[in-house]
Every structure is written in structure tokens, then in C-alpha cells.
Amino acid sequence: MIGVFDSGHGGLTVLRQLTARLPQQQFVYLGDHAHAPYGRRAPEDIYGLTLAAVERLFLQGCRLVLLACNTASAVALRRMQQDWLPQNAPNHRVLGCFVPMVEALTAVSWRDGLPVPGRRAEDGLVAVFATQRTVASGAYPLEVSLRAPRLRVVSQACRNLVAAIEGQEPAARLQEMVSGYVAELMAAAGGEAPTAAVLGCTHYPLVADCFAAALPATTRLLDQPRIVAESLADYLDRHGRFLGAPSERGGVRFLTSGDPDQASAFASRFFGAPVAFEGIADHEPPGPR
């Protein structure tokens, strides 16, 4: 089984593409609804909660876990891979939805720093729309600059957008909010039109049409769930030991640290099909590591 983790519902947009791309694979999805949202939490808090969730998925039998949460990926992934995994779970792996987006923008491989065959790097200005914590981490500008110094990254925190999406605000209100974020970013960019835009939160695919309407027609909107699914499929091709025994119909088990009925009621909007969550005992982040 492959574990998929998110602070709440957003990762279901990624999981939807994963199950379409890898229909015979079995997944375990864990939503930490009891502690969501992560976007305004302190970095240490995010790291501790993410680590606790990853450990729980390892105990479920997952040797590979994908962080389908941009905030967790930006804040916790590199530290977990470098400091925690080698000592505590050397035969397991943790990947993030952040890395494939950096590779898509730069056309440079994360693992070896070499150009990715058949990929085209973006040019000029790149817009990143994300949660406050993802923007504050500076992860996108840093990692992009290391691989493609010619690219200029401008980030925009989309305050309250996750809550508005989950609260099912009217379409007109969502469009108004998104148009405001785009206007702020364009002002910060000096009016320059971005060549590409990243929706750096897994909730945002639900309002991708709002971003497309607000951005210049020449801006290419990157489809994060599809890019992440293709990246995971490529990873599994190269690391077959993380593939489980194939099932004719695959399957997903849905776990939540929150109320399973409440989590299930909203999940179909993100996953595109009915979802039944199982409740698990709430977990607190572990102590200092």
C-alpha cells in the first residue's frame, strides 16, 4: 500500500488523479482533520504533526508515503528526508507534492540536478498562489532558484481561500477573492504577466477556473494533481519495490483523525466520488527529535 497524507480534504484532489493513473494500486489516505488547517500553524507544529501522521501510515503497512499537502511538503519534507528517515525508517520513503512542481517549472531533476529529458523549462515570471505558511517558508523561490536562476518567482498568500472553499461560498464570492489575490500578485510583479502559475494548495484545483479567469490569457496554469500523479508513476517505475501486489480494482482506505461522518460529508467534492472515512485516535505531534 502507498500512504497519502494531507491535513484535511485537499489531498483528495491529488488522490483522485493517483487512482486514475494507477488503478491497480492500493492506497491509504490519512486526513488530519482534527488539526486542520495547517496553513497558519508554526513550522515546528507542522513538522511534528506531519511526522506523527507519516509514522501512523508506516504502521498501517505503507513503506512509501506521499505528502499530498503543499504546506507539509514545503515545511517538513526536506528535514524529514535528511534528518529523520535515515535513522528511524531507512527502508521507507516519503515524497511530497511540492517536488514535482519544482521539477515541472525548472525541467531539472530533484534527485540529481540534471535536465529532465523531454521537459521544457518555464521562462520569465512564475506565480505561486499558496497558503500563508507555504509562502512564508520561501520553499518555492529557493528551490526554483537553485535549479533555474533565470526564473523569477513571485508568491501570493491566499488568505482565507481554503476556508471559503470548504464553506462552499458562492461562485461569485470565490471569483472575487481569487481576482483579488491575482491583482495583489500582479502589483507585486510590477504588472508583468506570469508565464506560468502554480496553485500551491491542493484545495485550489476546485477553483482553478477562477484563477484561469483572473490571470492573463497567456499564463499557463499548471495542473498539480496530474503532475504529481505522473511523477509518482515514474518513481514507481524506477523503484518497483514500493509497488504493492496489484489488485484488479485497486482500492483506497480513508482514515481521519477527526469526525469520520463530518469528514465523509464533504469529501466527495474533492475526490469526485462518495468517500467513507474511518476514525482513528487523535494524535499529537511527538516531542523533540
Q: What is the mean pLDDT of each run of 10 residues along the chain (289 residues)?
A: 95 97 96 92 96 96 96 94 96 95 93 86 93 94 93 96 94 98 97 96 97 97 96 94 69 96 94 95 52
Q: Is 205 within a domain?
A: yes
**The total number of structural domains that make up the chain:** 2
Q: Is 287 within a domain?
A: no
- At 267, which CATH number? 3.40.50.1860
Residue 37, preceding bond cis, omega within 30 degrees? Answer: yes
Q: 43: Cβ–Cβ under 8 A, 6 or more apart, which residues?
A: 75, 133, 137
Q: Is 171 within a domain?
A: yes
- Helix, strand, coil shares of the chain, percent, nearest 5, are 45, 15, 35
C-beta of residue 254 within 8 angstroms of C-beta of residue 32: no
C-beta of residue 147 within 8 angstroms of C-beta of residue 102: yes
For residues 85 and 158, membership in a common domain is answered with no
Q: What is the pLDDT of residue 122?
A: 84
Q: What is the pLDDT of residue 244?
A: 66
Longest dimension (CA), the chain: 53
Is 67 in a helix, a strand, or coil?
strand
Q: What is the pLDDT of residue 112?
A: 86
- Centre a 10 Å sphere on the Cβ of residue 102 and count the other Cβ atoms it contains: 20
Phi-psi region of 61 (alpha: psi -120 to 50; beta: other; left: phi over 0): left
How big is the chain by its Cα radius of gyration, in Å?
Answer: 18
Give residue 56's domain range.
Answer: 2-98+226-279
| Domain end point (choices 223, 247, 271) | 223
Pick the catalytic residue from 69, 97, 158, 210.
69
Instruction: Look up the pTM and report it.
Output: 0.92
Q: Is 201 a catalytic residue?
A: yes
Q: What is the pLDDT of residue 288?
A: 42
Q: Is 284 within a domain?
A: no
Tell me the C-alpha distance between 245 and 242, whole Å.
10
Cell numbers describing residue 138: 520561501
For residues 218 and 153, membership in a common domain is answered with yes
Q: Is 69 a catalytic residue?
A: yes
Pick the catalytic residue from 62, 158, 201, 210.
201
Angle at 128 between CA 197 and CA 65, to 5 degrees: 100
Q: Is 288 within a domain?
A: no
For residues 9 and 111, membership in a common domain is answered with no
Tell me the C-alpha distance between 238 and 192, whole Å.
40
Task: Look at residues 128, 126, 64, 53 and name the one whose alpha carbon lies nearest to residue 98.
Answer: 128
